[in-house]
Amino acid sequence: MSKYEYVPEPALVKGNHSFSSITELVTDVNLRPTPKAWYLAMLPANALLMLLLASIGYLIWQGTGIWGLNNPVGWGWAIINFVWWVGIGHAGTLISAILFLFRQDWRTAINRFAEAMTIFAVMCAGIFPAIHVGRIWVIYWVFPVPNQMAMWPNFNSPLLWDVFAVSTYFTVSLLFWYVGLIPDLATLRDKASDKIRQVAYGLFSLGWTGSNRHWWNYEKAYMILAGLATPLVLSVHTIVSFDFAVSMIPGWHTTIFPPYFVAGAIFSGFAMVLTLMLVAREIFGMKDIMTDDHMEKMNIVILVTGSMVGFAYMMEFFIAWYSGVEYEKAIFLLRATGPYAWAYWTMMTCNVVSPQVFWFKKLRTNVKFTFAISIVVNIGMWFERFVITVTSLANDYLPSSWDYYSPTIWDVLTYVGTFGLFFTMFLLFLRFLPMIAIAELKAVMPIADPHNYDEETKEYIAPKTEGSNTHSETV
């Protein structure tokens, strides 16, 4: 016997599932009567959404003075939350587009609601710059449209680059998500029993029949959109980092921001996908599709990106020391030992220390532990945005202008309210659209491989895979 033993890849779908059982498992969530648990989840989500609308209404009525902004700190929770939500929105397109181009089949079980999460997170992010500018009733001034005042946006400003980058990212992500939905919408159309669902799903499935021509066009469009979305994943958070990096404020004026922001965005995005995935698979009984192997691979990505973020934190200190600029050295010393040290060490603990536990296989395959760490990571990433934004503004070149920043209750309520928008949209998605890419999942099942069909016995012989039982199915 050879000392080298072949270890098969873990099965992407556990259990003895056929094509029809996968279809039933996924579509049953959308076609069965609405469960009470969905309404119970919708109540707090809607309550938080109403809180968001009330907070924005009061802000428009009173002005940005209701927030905790002061003279040196003109960017508070609004910009912190904007960057945080944009970061969360990165994972969906990364999982879908980049992993698709690299032919990583394990993405098929999680890409659909990761894409949905991207769209809803970007919607939450887009709220903050709009309400932060003040005088929201003249927000149309920021758009490059002909007007009588001859006022035009400053195209040299990274803040305007944000508008183009984020809106392009949102548009391409929405198209990418919708194109991937078309075959599954046709499946729901064919299985729906009531007329309203048939018409609605039929309208959005664009006359899909599953013909060879339709599949050819679908795969071509999906590939093109994946190719377009891939550079956007890298460009969007790079441009968001330019909001800070092109300034001269100590702690911001650095070239390390673009890659470090991108790594952080992937880091927080994957953590949020894990949080949602683990809840969804428990509630809807999707453990055969969203397996522990998927969770482990995502934990490995979190470990890698978390280590990259930790390296970036250390490099910031090195760059500040090596530059010889007193202001740079002072700002990083203040971050670690000054009035905001509590936020800095919370950030370091959550983002650098906590992901290192995933070096151990037993921990990265533990569901409860992974769920807890995914929440901790997103808390840490919020504190990272806080540390970057607030500490540099609160302690600039002139000690005479220093001031401590404290949020008000309206900062907190507006931020909490965005979770209402996010979860309301996400719950509507789970109720009316398939959370799993049915067609893509079937394509990676062993039964889809023609080499597993025995011509002599006229039976399907499933290959032995780790975590699955060998079975045969008569064709």
Q: Which of 306-310, 324-328, 433-437, 447-451 has the lowest mean pLDDT?
A: 447-451
pLDDT at 468: 45
pLDDT at 461: 58
pLDDT at 454: 57
Quick one: fold of 19-138+158-429? Answer: Formate dehydrogenase/DMSO reductase fold (1.20.1630)
Residue 466 has pLDDT above 70, yes or no: no
pLDDT at 43: 92
- Identity of residue 269: G
Residue 95 has pLDDT above 50, yes or no: yes
| pLDDT band with cut points at 50, 70 and 90 for residue 48 | very high
Other C-beta atoms lying within 10 Å of the C-beta of residue 438: 21
Residue 17 has pLDDT above 90, yes or no: no
Spell out the domain ranges in the chain: 1-17+445-475, 19-138+158-429
Residue 8 has pLDDT above 80, yes or no: no
Residue 11: DSSP 8-state: P
pLDDT at 44: 92
Q: What is the rounded CA–CA span in Å between residue 300 and residue 311?
A: 17
What number of residues does the chain have?
475
Percentage of the chain lying above the pLDDT 70 cut = 92
pLDDT at 7: 63
Burial state string for 357-371 with b = 16 or more CB within 10 A and e = fewer than 16: bbeeeeebebeebbb
pLDDT at 470: 41
pLDDT digits (tens, 9 = 90+) for 231-241: 888 888 888 88
Report the pLDDT averaged over residues 158-177: 86
Q: Which of 37, 63, 96, 47 is nearest to 440 (CA)?
A: 96
Residue 464 has pLDDT above 70, yes or no: no
Residue 35 has pLDDT above 70, yes or no: yes
Residue 443 has pLDDT above 50, yes or no: yes
End-to-end CA, the chain? 36
pLDDT at 418: 92
Residue 136 has pLDDT above 90, yes or no: no
Report the pLDDT averaged over residues 204-225: 87
| pLDDT band with cut points at 50, 70 and 90 for residue 262 | confident
Residue 447 has pLDDT above 80, yes or no: no
Mean pLDDT (the chain) is 82
Percentage of the chain lying above the pLDDT 90 cut = 7
pLDDT digits (tens, 9 = 90+) for 346-400: 999 998 888 888 898 888 888 888 999 999 999 999 998 888 888 888 887 777 7
Burial state string for 3-36 with b = 16 or more CB within 10 A and e = fewer than 16: eeeeeeebbbbbeebeeeebbebbbebbeeeeee
Element (H, E) at 3: none
